[in-house]
Each structure stands twice: as structure tokens, then as C-alpha cells.
Chains A and B, each alone.
Chain A
């Protein structure tokens, strides 16, 4: 008889046990053919009886947490249809034929190309160094007093090292829980890339604000960053690097991104504007730019006063 395979589904790494005997018993007791140590499994939980190559009978043996066969509680089931889903206590399993098709092999991110961003640790190191330089540059550009090296060090430590470190730590623990692997190199690379992307795109959004004399570029960026870019980046990471299924990756990406996005969005002035339609302070275009690139024409005092006559009264809040 060709063996059947019992797939015991655990986090990511499943166990595959051949069922070769005519009768195979499964339970927590040590006299079973397959022993499951989970406390919700009965000492003698079920047995599998094979009838030739094509047919199998699954018999429940317990009243406590009885076996669910293809999602339903059944005392026994004779079937020729595979796979058969089994819930043994809280252990999920599948009964598969030995020639059951497996999914196609997923290539490693970076694979055999050493120049690939995720393929070599040197890229992670280069990107972290770039982040440190950017962190230092940010400090320098926002320093209006004489610069102290100790302040620069503290700023880079706080704003760059700790930020990247905290995300790497949190996400690597999460990844370990999800797929049973540590992928620190890829995580460091991904988070560093996101850090750099944020720095440059936030700067661009400010420039666009000034260019269009409007606040929508920065608003779009802020909402886009938290609602689209961060979840998409996490989903892509989970699909292509952690090799999770797409649907699962998307759900996980939303769940992971939410604690990052929600506080930032809830505190954003734009959302406050949306939620509360009243502000005692004036919201006007107060951005300034050394480039002074703007699409609006400069006008005379006369024209300004003429146009100002048409300024509508403010709206009353509810």
C-alpha cells in the first residue's frame, strides 16, 4: 500500500508523518502509533483505518474534544476524497495522499545574486551607515546654535539608531513567531530603506507644499505613508522575503502597520481637521523655502487688496 501522509500543522514548519499501517491510532497516550503531546488531545483520540490504496476510515474515540472531520463532528467517516481536514483537540492536521502536489519552490530574496539588496549583509551595513549619515545631516540642518558633538551623537543615537533598532527588534520577534526564522539582515535592509525613503519624500512633500502654495502634498504624503506605503512595504516583505501567502501577508501587514499608523494619524492636524470641523487658530500657508519655487505669481499691493475683497467669510462649525 502506498503510504498516506498525516500533516501536523504547526507555525510555518509542519510535521509530515507517513501512515503505513492498516490501523493507526493517534492520541496523547504513549501506546499510540502517533503521539501528540498537546493537552487538548485525548489519550486515545482517533484512529485511521485504511482499506486498500484508495479508501480510508477515520474513527473518533473520545467524548472530550471529539475529532472534527472536515470541520464537522463525526463519529466516523469513510472517504476516498483527499485531503481530509482533521481537528484533533486544538491540533490541526491534514490527511494527504503521498503524491499530493506541493507548491512551487519560492526563490530566496536576492537568491544567488550577491549584488541584490537583500542578498548580502554588506548592503544592510551600507544602508545603516547611510541612515546614520542622514540622521546626522538632519541634526545639522536643524541646528541653529553651535554644534556639540555630544548632542549630535545623542540625536543620531535617539532618532536613528534607536528608531531602526526598535523596529528591527519588534519585527524580527514577530517574524520569528510567524515563520520560525530570524531574518535580521533582510529586516535591517528593509527598515533602513524605509527610513531613507521617508526622509527624502517628506522633504519633497514640503517643497511641493511651497510650490503649489497648498497643504495637500504634505497631507497626501502623511496619509499615504501610513495608510499605503508602510502596509504595502510590510506586505511585500512578508510575501517576498518571509514567503507567506499573499492573503495572509496583506492581513498581517495591516495588523502590523496599524499600531505604527494609528497614533501618528490620530495626532495629525489633518485628521483633527476632518474629525473636528472647528479650529480657534487660523490654518494658513506658513511654509517657507530657501528655493522660493512657487507657481503663484507675485502681485502688486493694489491687486492683492482687490483680490482680498473677495475673501469669503469662514464657515461656521456645527
Chain B
């Protein structure tokens, strides 16, 4: 162990003393091959891998950073699974969970003893600078992917760096290096075709500072902590939305909240109608990109989706129009969450006066079984009282505190304006 630390130190010193100070991928690989591990979630009964990712030594040398989603299964079933690491040289050992940053998808793990020299972290290099992602893709062994820094993405709440390199399953949780061999971030996700994402290392530094040495006492503590963090993140997100100016978006006779945050993107979703259609319909769907990984089975929260729908016709009579309008209003966004994850929705209906118009409004909430205080909120409102004009809006928030969602719905309605 001491020998390895010594070698790594010598290599780092050599790198720092080179005139340009820049390392190539080969050097970075050699420097860090003993400091990047495969992180495995193993079944206590069978001893076999249930999921894998990557991790690297940080902090005091006993700590290993990885992604929260790599070890998410342990949150749900800590009695069934445990976390372990294995190095390129075959070194392995069990790890305990020291800290979580659910919103940024980070986890800090702890070994009983020092496992190696910690990797130094560093701020993000300039946009376009080469960066190197290390990890264990597809359980095929340690490798390094070369790409460039695409900068911080503002549509993901500043928690993601765009990496123009190829991340593959199994590399999650591995370090991303600058050309001095310092970790500037943690591999987290990919959208394929050399579009990948990295969590900036400053969030890891914060996590190391905040984490306890002895980890969590019980499984319930873990779930409470996950819920607490998700709710804190969502409350903060909603506060930002409430504090911000909302640009307008025009949809026929309504002026509506438009792109209410840099994290939101709006798309025209209008269906193509044939020439024989005797009505017109327009649909706009806006959604954020703040997908917060909740636990195993790829469950995410943090969605903010709002969808507008306008329908009009000069040719249909009022009964025909309302038959169509009602059918379209009955379409619901599907949810695949089961009874073991969430409660039933509880819904209530009101007729609400908005900008001189009456909207038949429904508000529904359901709770997460394992995560106290966390709700999914669904709000819908349909225009009434017009013979040949229809409009409805659907607003969905997942993993939020119910009471925090109401001011957002209020602002939403206050920014909904009818233009005669």
C-alpha cells in the first residue's frame, strides 16, 4: 500500500514538474488506476453483483466517492444488499454509506482502513478543455474516455457539466480529470453519441465536509435523509421559480406562463390534423430536466411538467364540440408507480374564476410510502362556458412537499390571462 502511494506521489510530482503541466490520458490512467475502483452492490445471500458502478478515493483516504444511483438499491433493501469495492489489482472490501447528495446524485462511502492516496479535486477547466473520464464500463475493466468540457448546463440547475465524451454503464461514479490529473467532476449520465454528463466536484467537496464519519444508523434514517434532501431541493427549486419573472406565452386567447425557469424547455406538441378535421387544436408541453434519482428500479422525482391545450371549432355544434373536448380532457399522463411506492391519488374539484373565466379545476395529491412528506401533485383546469372554445392545462410536480406546491399553482393561475 505504502509503495503504491509513493509511486502515485512520484508520478504526480513528475507531472507537476513538466514544463507544460499537461498530462495525456495514458499518464492519467497510470496515475489513478489504483485509486479508481469498481463499486458493487452485492446480495448478502448469494454474494453476487446486483449493480455496478465506479468510485474513487477522496477525503482522508478512507472515503470513496460514487453516484447515489450506483448504490440506490441499498437504500431500499439494506438487509438484502451491501456495498463493496474492488480494485484493478484485486483489492476488495466492504463499504458503508457515510453521506448522500440525492439531488446531485452523489454518495460518499467509507472503508474501515485507508485504501489509497485520495484524488485531489479541482474547479472546472475552461470550456473546450480536454477532460478524461475513468471508470469500469460494462464490467469490462478499468478504462479512460477522452473528451472535452462542454460547460455547466443551466437547464439542469447548475448541477451538470456537459462532457463530449463517451460514458457507458458502469462508469457512473468514476472521476473525470483535467489534464493535470485532478478530479473536476464525477461521471453521472449519458445521452449517448458522445453526449455525457458530469457532476462538478464542488458538490463532492460539500458532501465530504457535511458527511458524518459513522454513517447512518438504520434503514429508516436513510430514507428519511433521502426524503429530507429531495424536499429541501424541491422547496428551493420552487422558491426560485416563485421569485423569478415569468415570461408570457400566448396560446390563442390565453396568455400563459412560458419558460418559467432556465431548467424548463417548451415544445409544440400539436397533433397533425387531416384536412377533413372540423376543428383546430394546439398543444404546448413544457418540462424541466431536473430528474432526481430516488432509488432502485430507475425511479426519478423532481419533474415539473405543464401542458397547455387549446381547442376551437367554427363548424362543430356545441354537443359535438364538447364530446371532443371531454374526450381530449380525459387523456391522462400515465404513471407506472405501484402500490408499494405511492398511495392512491386523492382528488378534489373546484370551479375557479381565473381572469374572468371559469375553469373546472382538479387538484390531486399522492404520497410516497417510504419517504415521509414527499408527494406527487397533479393540477388540471379546463375552460368552461364557451360553445366552441376549449382550453385546459395540466401541471404535474413529482417529489414535492404538497404545501410548497400550492403557491406555485397560485402563481400559475395568476399568470393565466384571458384576452377577449
Contact = CB atoms under 8 A, between A and B. Distances in A.
Contacts of A140: 320
B329 A286 contact: yes
Interface stretch (B221-229, B283-291, B348-356): B348-356
29 contacts: A140-B320, A141-B320, A142-B320, A142-B323, A143-B320, A144-B279, A144-B316, A144-B323, A144-B324, A145-B276, A145-B278, A146-B276, A146-B278, A213-B349, A278-B344, A282-B364, A284-B347, A284-B380, A288-B322, A288-B360, A288-B384, A290-B321, A296-B349, A299-B352, A308-B363, A312-B346, A313-B366, A313-B402, A318-B339
Given A281-B345, A299-B351, A301-B353, A311 B330 contact: no
Chain A interface category by residue count: 35 or more
B358 interface: yes
B326 A314 contact: no
B330 A315 contact: no
A199 to B, nearest CB: 13
A288 B350 contact: no
Nearest to B364: A282
A296 B350 contact: yes
Given A280-B335, A296-B349, A298-B351, A315 B403 contact: no
Interface string B371-411: 00001001010101101001000000000001100110110
Interface string A283-318: 111111110101011111100110111011111111
Interface of A: 140-146, 213, 277-290, 292, 294, 296-301, 304-305, 307-309, 311-318
A286 B352 contact: no
A311 B321 CA distance: 32
A142 B329 CA distance: 15
Contacts of A287: 326
Contacts of A285: 347, 349, 360, 362
Interface string B169-201: 000000000000000000000000000000000
Contacts of B325: 288
A296 B351 contact: yes
B69 interface: no
B343 interface: yes
Contact of B350 (A144, A281, A283, A307): A307
Given A307-B348, A313-B365, 18 more contacts: A141-B319, A141-B320, A144-B320, A144-B323, A279-B344, A280-B335, A280-B337, A282-B366, A284-B364, A285-B347, A288-B390, A292-B385, A297-B351, A298-B352, A301-B354, A304-B352, A305-B410, A317-B339
Contacts of A280: 334-338, 342
Interface in B300-333: 313, 316, 318-326, 329-330, 332
Nearest to A296: B351
A286 to B, nearest CB: 5
A305 to B, nearest CB: 5
A283 B353 contact: no
Contacts of A316: 339, 343-344, 367, 369
Nearest to A214: B349
Contact of B344 (A146, A288, A314): A314
Contacts of B364: 282, 284, 314
A314 B337 CA distance: 14
B274 interface: yes
Given A144-B278, A301-B413, A289 B322 contact: yes
A7 B344 CA distance: 64
Nearest to A313: B367
Contacts of A315: 343-344, 346
A299 B358 CA distance: 9
B363 A301 contact: no
Contacts of B367: 313-314, 316
B377 to A, nearest CB: 9
Contacts of A296: 349-351
A311 B345 CA distance: 11
Contact of A309 (B332, B336, B350, B406): B406
Contact of A305 (B380, B382, B384, B406): B406
A137 to B, nearest CB: 10
Contacts of B349: 213, 284-285, 296
Contacts of B14: none
B361 interface: yes
Counting chain B CB atoms within 10 Å of each CB, which of A141, A144, A279 scores highest? A144
B77 interface: no
Nearest to B317: A141
Contact of B346 (A277, A290, A314, A317): A314
B326 A294 contact: no
A40 to B, nearest CB: 57
Nearest to B407: A305
Contacts of B351: 213, 294, 296-299
B332 A311 contact: no
A318 B332 CA distance: 24
